[in-house]
Structure 1
């Protein structure tokens, strides 16, 4: 007589489908199509960058490789050494780093205080002022470039790296304030009131309570501010005429004009310009994703 086991199945075993059930499932063709579309999109985005890096690591030539390839056939760092030492490229790199870091710090500090005021205080014309601040996001930057130039000239900020920081920071405040205000509004009122009972003032609550809780938003704002200042070209081209004060986008444009057929040098310079952007994104990736997706989940 065969013994029958009466041992109950665990919840995990009961919920998991058997091998026969899995084999009977219909093949999800739409899932395969979506994955294929995502892979094709990723390849189209990454392929130009890989070709640029591959060409920059090959001996300098006057023509592009045909067909293009993703791995260098002859590896050499000569293009990077020449690109870094020629045409004051290192100086342009330092100018961009100086402007971008100062812009990031100034934009995040000013916007965090502005967002805190809009999120936690009531004052006359609060909603109107916030609406006017957001209205600035709807105006294309090229439309106001002439009034900005007149203002920069009257403030003696032409041919000035500090002038670039001033206008870059002003351009970042509206979006950064909008982003941080949403985070500050999510801080529970009970925590704010508890610190008030303990005798904490506004500055202490801002530094001890709100800033630590808003780290994902601050990291997101910092990344966007840095990238906006690092990649900006039109305004820098408008107000900077001194060759020694050019930022990296202006330097690469001039570099390409002088070495238009030296593709190895041009691509090496472009790759060097991309490295800080990748480093900043990788450093803030965790907080950046959290800051972007916080509003999507209640």
Structure 2
């Protein structure tokens, strides 16, 4: 009988944790379905007695919401492409090559993980303005990529280190070079490591607000977090519309996670298992 208490307690805690995690989304969705007349009813009801989809329609058609969604998707994809190229090459160099100052340079790179992003806001602003990228999506992409490279490099290097170094000798014996090893061997074997990196970087870039608010003045170049902040200001009391817009904004991230979830745990633990 005692052996049953441990799994029962474990699953009970998991269910409670799941409910706590899902409840905000459920509350947002049910509130988005409420007409304006039911938002402030007393006593409040979680499940509305009357359902309307007009909040989603209004959220989509107002303030050029589709353009903001496109901007966020473009910035996220472009940032990740830049992160993928630079971080994978850096991780490969630190994993496979030996060069003077390797330890120091890697320590400096990892130091970027402990620097709060808000402390870099002013230096980044001055740099982006000097580069002529102010008020452009490229100004977002460059900074987002630079901020995510340290963590992604650290994650990929751990996985690259777990791949047998005997492969390097085999490639060399077959007449291959470092590029052959990197492109034809290391990258294909490291696909599981890119799944958590993809999800993490997508979340960071998709929801980033302070930097996007700082350098984007053109309304047509706003990303979703900035648009939603202005959206909430316009509809201060129409929380159904605000929640509907927020739900539309998180749909791409949810879809991304659902597509990659079966690889997520494997990608997180692969390096540890192989090591």
Bin for the TM-score computed over the shorter chain: over 0.9
Q: Structure 1 residues 296 and 201 mapped into 2: Cα distance closer, same or farther (>3 Å)? A: closer
The Cα of 1:204 is off from its aligned counterpart by 1.7
Q: Which residue of 2 aligns with 1:248?
A: 224
Match runs of 1:1-298 below 5 Å: 25-26=1-2, 28-61=4-37, 63-64=39-40, 66-69=43-46, 71-297=47-273, 298=275
Instruction: Report the Cα distance in structure 2 between the residues aligned to 1:54 and 1:296, rounded to whole angstroms.
Output: 41
Larger radius of gyration: 1
Q: Structure 1 residues 38 and 206 mapped into 2: Cα distance closer, same or farther (>3 Å)? A: same
Instruction: Report the Cα distance in structure 2 between the residues aligned to 1:282 and 1:175, rounded to whole angstroms.
Output: 23
Q: TM-score, normalised by structure 2?
A: 0.94
Q: Structure 1 residues 278 and 64 mapped into 2: Cα distance closer, same or farther (>3 Å)? A: farther
Instruction: Report the Cα distance in structure 2 between the residues aligned to 1:218 and 1:133, rounded to whole angstroms.
Output: 19
The Cα of 1:236 is off from its aligned counterpart by 0.7
Aligned residues: 273
Instruction: Report the Cα distance in structure 2 between the residues aligned to 1:151 and 1:86, rounded to whole angstroms.
Output: 34
Q: Which residue of 2 aligns with 1:17?
A: none
Instruction: Report the Cα distance in structure 1 between the residues aligned to 2:6 and 2:193, rounded to whole angstroms.
Output: 35
The Cα of 1:50 is off from its aligned counterpart by 0.4
The Cα of 1:30 is off from its aligned counterpart by 4.3
Q: Structure 1 residues 204 and 53 mapped into 2: Cα distance closer, same or farther (>3 Å)? A: same
The Cα of 1:61 is off from its aligned counterpart by 4.2
Contact 2:91 2:156 in 1 (8 A): yes
Instruction: Report the Cα distance in structure 2 between the residues aligned to 1:108 and 1:68, rounded to whole angstroms.
Output: 46
Instruction: Report the Cα distance in structure 1 between the residues aligned to 2:32 and 2:126, rounded to whole angstroms.
Output: 41
SS of equivalent residue, structure 2 residue 44: coil
Instruction: Report the Cα distance in structure 1 between the residues aligned to 2:95 and 2:79, rounded to whole angstroms.
Output: 23
Structure 1 residue runs without a partner (length 5+): 1-24
Query: Hey, which bits of structure 1, 4+ residues long, moved more than 6 A?
Result: none
Q: TM-score, normalised by structure 1?
A: 0.87
Instruction: Report the Cα distance in structure 1 between the residues aligned to 2:34 and 2:212, rounded to whole angstroms.
Output: 32
The Cα of 1:129 is off from its aligned counterpart by 0.4
The Cα of 1:98 is off from its aligned counterpart by 0.7
Structure 2 residue runs without a partner (length 5+): none
Contact 2:31 2:39 in 1 (8 A): no
